[in-house]
Structure 1
Amino acid sequence: SGQRWSPILSSELQRSILKQIFDSTQSRTLLGRRKVVTTAAVSEMPLKLHYFDPPGRAETSRLCFTIGKVPYEEVIYEFKTWPEHKAKMPFGQVPVLELEDGKMLAQGGAIERYAAKLAGLYPEDPLKAALADQAAFHMADISELFVPTFRLAPEERVKARQEILAADKFKEKLQQLSKLLETSGEYVAGDKLSYGDVVVFVGLSNIICGFMDGVPRDLLEDYPVLKAYRNRIASIPAIKEFYEKRGEGFRAAFKPDAA
């Protein structure tokens, strides 16, 4: 495990996950409504992040842009109209980042790292970069444990997720992450916030945000190191401000002390 940056999901599985997102949210944001979400000066052709409104696979990129004050806009899709736009995307999926020259960058992991580099959150030092990646890969391994549950019928998902939570593999991976955070210092790649910290924060918050039925919101009570770390990252001014402005629904779990 750890060899994949982010899972490449089949079209059928993507549709299943996205349908669950929109069945579970009251988002009113419509396709084509673009909004600049940083306070920095906007270039003539700002970056455009194509995705859906819930956190999902674009939240790390959103936060990297926000922390680094990188101007960007969002093109937000509704599930019911998404099939009309799917063919326009390089791999028929989102997130996609539309660059200043109109080129389209696909794959969530690639977009995240690009966003992190623009924001100054991807370490230039090779070892520190590897440490940031190490934490991000491990968080991806934890998140991927739940991916198969999205293929199941709604009535089967809760049981499957509860079995994952009770399994030794899941507990071991969270304990390993706790140990990593205990030994790495304030941040996963040294004394400075990095891309790896954003990935871990988003990953932990996604798990407890209520999107996945069967996963308790107080899950991190059994992992005090993870809870304290998540709350500390959530308290970073730029992140805290982001969720003060955009903290409804699933994102309520991304706020400080939500875990």
Structure 2
Amino acid sequence: MVMSSDNPRRPTSGNTAMFHGCTLTYFDGLGRGEVLRLALNHLGIAWTDDRIKGSDWPALKAAAPWGKLPFVKLSDGTHLAQTKAILRLVGKQGGLYPADALAAFRVDELVDTMEDLSNAVRLTGDGKEQAEKEAIRTESSERGEIHALLRKIDDFIGAHGSGGFAVGASLSIVDFAVFSTCSSIASGVYDGVPPTVLNPFARLQAVRKTVASLPSTIAWYEHRGDAKSKGEIFNAAAKDL
């Protein structure tokens, strides 16, 4: 499925010209690609959302940078790969990345931790029978490793962010990363992880609410064109907190 952003908003800072006319290629679901979609859409960049089917991927894999998705093709034919590297470049060009070196490090630190969180949830109970896997994930979400990592994330936001922002007092790429990763975890995608998994973490929830309340986010999920994903990440997101 191919669709283009219809968000009329344009960035108030930064220089996103290099991304105008780009194509983001990823599967139709959420996963690693959604944080890039949210950031590109927020900045009002004219881009194409190239969603491929799983059955199409084997034929495309050899031509993909590093043999992985997502990747971005700029209008001049340049390919960009690796989600976090692309996200960081989008942030720098669009004014969503701190100029201060230490603040930028804190953004990178928490973006990396979002990947750790996603992997921890995915791998918990891996290889077990379904019922056992779900029980292990529930236990981990409520009292174990997943819960402990979420607590550390919440404490990190308390130490380095404010006003519903994960780092500093203004919107940055890490807020989109927190929103997309944590909303997915609480959405029911991962069997055994309860939808209440994030409830004890007020500062993390405040970041989700900040991103969910952005006009660009609301517009994205009104027009995304995928009812399943819309329900997974937005209707279960912080607008209802």
Please report the TM-score for the alignment, with normalisation by the length of structure 2: 0.82
2:208 to 219, 230, 235: 230
Q: Which runs of 5+ in 2 are unaligned?
A: 11-16
Residue in structure 2 matched with residue 35 of structure 1 by the alignment: 3
Distance 1:236 1:83, change over 3 A: same
Q: Secondary structure at the match of 1:221?
A: coil
- RMSD (Å), alpha carbons: 2.7
CA distance, structure 1, for counterparts of residue 42 and residue 209 of structure 2: 17
The match for 2:40 among 49, 62, 65 is 65
1:154 and 1:70 mapped to 2: Cα distance?
A: 45
Contact 1:158 1:214 in 2 (8 A): yes
Contact kept? 1:37, 1:71, Cα under 8 Å: yes
Q: CA deviation at 1:92?
A: 1.6
Match of 1:180 in 2: 156
Q: 1:157 to 1:81 in 2, by over 3 A?
A: farther
Q: Match for 2:113 among 125, 134, 138?
A: 138
Match of 2:175, as an amino acid? D
1:161 matched residue in structure 2 = 137
Distance (Å, rounded) in 2 between the aligned partners of 1:221 and 1:44: 36
Instruction: Give the distance between the partners of 2:78 and 2:127, measured in 1 at CA.
Output: 36
The answer as to whether partners of 1:131 and 1:188 remain within 8 angstroms in 2 is: no
Q: Shift of the alpha carbon at 1:200?
A: 0.9
| Aligned residue type for 2:213 | S
Contact 1:135 1:197 in 2 (8 A): no
Q: What's the offset of the Cα at 1:248?
A: 2.4
Q: Is the counterpart of residue 148 in structure 1 residue 148 in structure 2?
A: no
> Equivalences for 1:81-230 in 2 at 5 Å?
81-149=56-124, 152=127, 155=130, 157-183=133-159, 184-186=161-163, 187-230=165-208
Partner of 1:49: helix, strand, or coil?
Answer: strand
Deviation at 1:205, TM superposition (A): 0.7
Distance 1:177 1:166, change over 3 A: same
Task: Extract unaligned runs of 5+ from structure 1.
Answer: 1-28
TM-score (norm 1): 0.77
Tell me: CA distance 1:153–1:105, structure 2 relative to 1, closer, same or farther (3 Å). farther
